[in-house]
Amino acid sequence: MFSKSRINEPGPAKDTETAKAPEAAAKKPGAMPTMDTKPAAPKAKPPASVLSSDLTITGNLKTTGDIQVEGTVEGDIRAHLLTIGENATIRGECVADDVVINGRIIGRVRGLKVRLTSTAKVEGDIIHKTIAIESGAHFEGSVQRQDDPLSTGATRAPKPATQD
C-alpha cells in the first residue's frame, strides 16, 4: 500500500532543533513574539488625588483623573470625577464628568452627572446632563440641563428672541 517517506519525517536531531527554534526566535531583537506569550495586563486606574483638609490652594487644577478635595481651593477645577468633602470650600468653576458635592462651592458647576448631598452648599449656577439633589442640600442659583454641559459653549445662556 502506501508508505511514509523518510524525507518528511523529522528525526530526533530535528525535533530538538524545532523545539529550540521558537525560543531562539524570541530572543532575537526585532523577532516576532510567539503565540505562547501573554498580552500585557491593562494598567490599573490610579487612585484619586486627595487634597487634605489643612491644604489651601490658590490657582487652577486640571487632571484627566479623579480629585477629592477636603481643603480649600481658590480657582477652577477640571477633572474626571470631582468629590468635594464636607468641610471643603471651592471658590471657582468646577467642571467634571461626575461631580459629588458634600461641601461648599461658590461658583459655577458643570458636569454630566452632578449630585448634591444633604450637606452640600452651592452658590452658583449648575449646568448638567443629570442632577440629583438630596433633601437638606442648600442651593442658590439656577439649574440648566444641557446634553453637553462640558463644552465651552455651555457657559452661555441662549439669548431671548426679540420682536421688531
Residue 97 has pLDDT above 80, yes or no: yes
Quick one: pLDDT band at residue 50, thresholds 50, 70, 90?
Answer: very high
SS3 state of residue 45: coil
Q: What is the rounded distance in angstroms from the CA atom of residue 149 to the CA atom of residue 154?
A: 5
Residue-range domain boundaries for the chain? 51-148
Residue 154 has pLDDT above 80, yes or no: no
Taking 3-state DSSP, the helix, strand and coil percentages for the chain, each rounded to the nearest 5, stand at 10, 40, 50
Write down the pLDDT at residue 137: 97
Write down the pLDDT at residue 7: 57
Residue with cell 444641557: 146
The region of weakest confidence among 49-53, 132-136, 158-162 is: 158-162
| Average per-residue pLDDT for the chain | 81
Write down the pLDDT at residue 77: 96
Residue environment code for 66-83, b if the CB has 16+ CB neighbours within 10 A, otherwise e: bbbbbbbbeebbbbebbb
Q: What would the mean pLDDT of 112-137 be, rounded to a whole number?
A: 97
